[in-house]
Amino acid sequence: MDLVVVRWMDTVFEDTGQHIQEAVKTAPVPRVNVGYLLRDGKEKVVLCFGLVEKDGEGPWCDGIMAIPKGMIVSVTRLEEKA
């Protein structure tokens, strides 16, 4: 599994009342997540944030995130350094 940095744009929901002149300024929020790349599919990227050995079985994912491709700005693979 590759370790990657995913830069993506997240939605914003504001549930406090705002004047319409302020509300139209609402914009998506840039996000950055680092994790193991489980899937780089046509519609989504799936990340795992940690790997756990459980009962001698192969690795289990601890924390999973699916990000729609339309929200992704970039996916950068990280290199291991000794």
pLDDT band at 17 (very low <50, low <70, confident <90, very high): confident
Over the range 26-61, which residues count as b (16 or more CB within 10 Å of their CB) and which as e? Answer: eeeeeeeeebbbbeeeeeebbbbeeeeeeeeeeeeb
Chain segment 58-67, per-residue pLDDT in tens: 788 989 999 9
pTM of the model: 0.85
